């Protein structure tokens, strides 16, 4: 297969065929994000995208491609007509395809009409991955996410109403020490409103080509240590109400592995966090990246 630059996908898309519909991220502003800093955003020529699908069709054994992930950072920025064209061709080339997925920016979801989202769902868009990062407006502003908590809620509900599953991600420690409480409680509020099918937690890491890394090394950003991350998680779990959400904090960056279903497992998860905090028993964490 042919790819431009580094390609990222969620862990749950490990066995998916990755097709780049766009290159980079249309926003590329978030102060903590390193993923597409070396790419200039563009939507790929659709003929090239279809050619990639055909190459994959010839490369993989019949029946092997069951899932397709549309990279790079925010495939839903593409107009619906073109998205549907690509998705319909993908389904014809791979009749065994069970779902198509993509990262999605909240503003792109909001730009689409409810009918357009339903059309995408009917064409196979089964799940989208949305970085909530934080439900706190000040933090969202500080990290230049370009979206408010209210817009996150509206976008999340709109996607779910169209029948598209939603996987959201929060970054532990993103508000630093000054916004620990607000980050936890306001993120819990946003999740409680949306009630996504999946919720994952990463822990903030500092990557060298980012603005946040510079803030961190120059002392402008006060990072949380493990006990404070636990305090933040306890506040989040104590305030969230999202019945049925599959909850995971099992990324390499997490100090403590947590998995369960909200709200059923909430008390068990709280006990696990309290126990780690009391015994000071954490996984190794690497605070700066490449």
Residues that bind ligand SF4 (CB under 6 A): 25, 27-30, 33, 35-36, 73, 105, 131
CB of 133 to ligand SF4, least distance (A): 7
Residue 271: exposure state from Cβ atoms within 10 A (0-12, 13-18, ≥19): exposed
CB of 230 to ligand SF4, least distance (A): 25
Of 107 and 138, the one with the shorter C-beta distance to ligand SF4 is 107
Q: Residue 160 in contact with residue 166, Cβ under 8 Å?
A: yes
Cα angle 21-134-231, degrees, rounded to a multiple of 5? 135
Q: In what order do the strands lie in the sheet with 67-71?
A: 17-20, 67-71, 99-103, 125-133, 165-172, 198-203, 246-249, 258-261
CB of 132 to ligand SF4, least distance (A): 11
Of 35 and 97, the one with the shorter C-beta distance to ligand SF4 is 35
CB of 279 to ligand SF4, least distance (A): 34
Q: Residue 72 in contact with residue 102, Cβ under 8 Å?
A: no
CB of 143 to ligand SF4, least distance (A): 8
Q: Determine the Cα–Cα distance for residues 253 and 204; give it in Å rounded to an integer.
A: 8
Of 131 and 173, the one with the shorter C-beta distance to ligand SF4 is 131
Three-state secondary structure call for residue 221: coil
Q: Residue 2 in contact with residue 55, Cβ under 8 Å?
A: yes
Of 26 and 273, the one with the shorter C-beta distance to ligand SF4 is 26
Of 68 and 212, the one with the shorter C-beta distance to ligand SF4 is 212
CB of 33 to ligand SF4, least distance (A): 3
CB of 201 to ligand SF4, least distance (A): 15
Of 32 and 247, the one with the shorter C-beta distance to ligand SF4 is 32
Q: Determine the Cα–Cα distance for residues 198 and 127; give it in Å rounded to an integer.
A: 10
Of 137 and 241, the one with the shorter C-beta distance to ligand SF4 is 137
Tokens of 27: 């926003």
3-state helix, strand, coil split of the chain in percent (to 5) is 40, 20, 40
Q: Residue 240 in contact with residue 192, Cβ under 8 Å?
A: yes
Of 128 and 262, the one with the shorter C-beta distance to ligand SF4 is 128
Residue entry with tokens 């998995």: 259
Contacts of 66 (CB under 8 A, 6+ apart): 15, 94, 96, 97, 98, 99
CB of 105 to ligand SF4, least distance (A): 6
């Amino acid at each position: 297969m042919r790819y431009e630059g580094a390609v990222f996908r969620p862990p749950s898309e490990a066995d998916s065929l990755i097709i780049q519909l766009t290159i980079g991220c249309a926003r590329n502003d978030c102060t903590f994000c390193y993923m597409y800093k070396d790419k200039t955003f563009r939507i790929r020529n659709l003929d090239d995208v279809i050619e990639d699908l055909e190459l994959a069709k010839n490369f993989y054994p019949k029946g092997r491609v069951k899932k397709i992930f549309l990279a790079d950072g925010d495939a839903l920025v593409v107009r619906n007509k073109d998205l549907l064209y690509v998705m319909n061709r993908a389904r014809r080339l791979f009749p065994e395809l069970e779902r198509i997925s993509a990262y999605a920016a909240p503003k792109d979801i909001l730009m689409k009409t409810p009918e357009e989202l339903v059309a995408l769902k009917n064409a196979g868009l089964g799940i989208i991955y949305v970085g909530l990062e934080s439900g706190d407006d000040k933090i969202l502003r500080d990290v230049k996410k370009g979206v408010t908590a209210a817009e996150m809620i509206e976008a999340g509900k709109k996607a779910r109403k169209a029948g598209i599953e939603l996987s959201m991600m929060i970054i532990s420690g993103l508000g630093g020490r000054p916004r620990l409480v607000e980050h936890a409680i306001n993120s819990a509020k946003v999740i409680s409103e949306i009630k996504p099918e999946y919720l994952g937690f990463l822990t903030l890491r500092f990557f060298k080509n980012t603005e946040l890394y510079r803030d961190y090394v120059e002392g402008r950003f006060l990072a949380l240590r493990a006990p404070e991350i636990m305090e933040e998680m306890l506040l989040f779990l104590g305030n969230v109400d999202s019945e049925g959400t599959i909850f995971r904090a099992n990324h390499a960056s997490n100090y403590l592995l947590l998995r369960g279903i909200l709200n059923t497992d909430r008390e068990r998860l709280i006990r696990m966090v309290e126990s780690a905090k009391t015994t000071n028993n954490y996984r190794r964490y690497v605070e700066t990246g490449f």
